[in-house]
């Protein structure tokens, strides 16, 4: 008896593309059992990520109020962090300001440390037989690394609940709202109903497709040894979404065009 092959189905309808994971010729969705403990661990990591963003805002806004504005590149690079450490040198700030900035910075470093530890634990869990087949195939797609793939795997659970990718889109609130009266039918913004965590991951991943289709070094490593049919769909997805994004961006703001692609 041969081992069943895996593939990734793409549902294309009215400029939308949804990814679903299937197994076998009958295209039966591959089951991923939800374990509350692992799901909460993944959610905890997301909480720390939001807290890191808050701490970064605290630091930037505090420095701006004191007249310190970084103009030599992108924020939160190694060079930027070293610049903040220079501001923390003695006699640069008033005593009270030095205490405030030092506490903000120490809090940020603590959150980064705990997030990185959670990343290592989640990376280990992603190797479990329960999750590895799903995670490996999702990460073949541009914009999806292990953390994002684990969000989808733990939040969506058994994919056989959904009769079609279109139904999955409705479940996570990536379908347009509707305002209709009589024969008049008007579609509005996405509903944002359902699982916000999955919706956030998909929208963040969608931003990767605004750039020209390519397979970088990191993506190539994730794709090594994977089913050729999955890689074919991943490449097709890059071309499709790149074209859709730029067609929509010509008519709509980029913030609207990005989620609309899905």
Burial class, 145, CB count within 10 angstroms (exposed 0-12 / middle 13-18 / buried 19+):
middle
Q: What pTM was estimated for this model as a whole?
A: 0.77
Q: What are phi and psi of 185, to 5 degrees?
A: -125, 120
- Best CA proximity match to 169, nearest among 14, 7, 16: 16
Give DSSP secondary structure letters for 52-78. Answer: HHHHHHHHHHHHHHTT----SS-TTSH
pLDDT, tens digit (0-9, with 9 covering 90-100), for 19-49 = 444 444 344 444 445 567 899 999 999 999 9
Q: Which two tokens stand for residue 33?
A: 């059992």
Q: 220's torsion region: left (phi>0), alpha (psi -120 to 50) or beta? A: alpha
- Residue 34 C-beta-side C-alpha neighbours within 13 Å: 14
Give DSSP secondary structure letters for 180-212. Answer: EETTEEEEEEE---S-HHHHHHHHHHHGGGGSP
Q: Kindly give, in sequence order, each residue whose CB lies less than 8 Å from that of residue 80, ignoring residues fewer than 6 positions away.
A: 70, 72, 73, 74
* pLDDT tens-digit profile, the chain (262 residues): 444 433 333 343 433 344 444 444 344 444 445 567 899 999 999 999 999 999 999 999 999 999 999 999 999 999 999 999 999 999 999 999 999 999 999 999 999 999 999 999 999 999 999 899 999 999 999 999 999 999 999 998 777 788 888 888 888 888 888 777 777 778 777 788 888 899 999 989 988 998 999 999 999 999 999 999 999 999 999 999 999 888 887 877 666 655 555 5
Crossing angle of the two packed helices 78-87 and 95-125, in degrees rounded to 10: 150
How far is 258 from 245, CA to CA, in rounded Å? 6
Q: Which two tokens stand for residue 129?
A: 């037989």
| Domain layout of the chain by residue ranges | 6-35+131-179+191-260, 45-123
């Amino acid at each position: 008896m041969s081992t069943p092959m895996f593939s990734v189905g793409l549902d294309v309808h009215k400029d939308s593309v949804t990814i679903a994971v299937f197994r076998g010729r009958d295209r039966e969705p591959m089951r991923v059992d939800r374990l509350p403990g692992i799901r909460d661990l993944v959610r905890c990591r997301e909480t720390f990520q939001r807290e890191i963003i808050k701490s970064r805002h605290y630091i930037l806004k505090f420095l701006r109020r004191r007249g310190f504005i970084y103009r030599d590149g992108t924020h939160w690079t190694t060079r930027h962090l070293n610049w903040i450490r220079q501001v923390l040198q003695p006699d640069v700030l008033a005593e009270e300001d030095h205490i405030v900035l030092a506490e903000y910075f120490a809090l940020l470093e603590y959150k980064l440390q705990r997030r990185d530890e959670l990343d290592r634990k989640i990376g280990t869990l992603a190797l479990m037989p329960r999750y590895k087949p799903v995670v490996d195939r999702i990460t073949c797609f541009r914009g999806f690394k292990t953390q994002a793939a684990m969000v989808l795997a733990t939040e969506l659970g058994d994919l056989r609940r959904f009769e079609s990718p279109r139904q999955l889109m409705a479940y996570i609130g990536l379908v347009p709202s509707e305002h209709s009266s009589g024969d008049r039918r008007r579609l509005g913004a996405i509903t944002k109903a359902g699982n916000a965590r999955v919706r956030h991951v998909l929208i963040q991943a969608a931003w990767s497709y605004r750039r020209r289709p390519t397979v970088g070094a990191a993506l190539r490593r994730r794709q090594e040894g994977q089913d050729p049919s999955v890689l074919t769909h991943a490449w097709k997805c890059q071309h499709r979404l790149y074209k859709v994004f730029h067609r929509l961006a010509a008519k709509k703001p980029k913030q609207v065009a990005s989620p609309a692609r899905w």
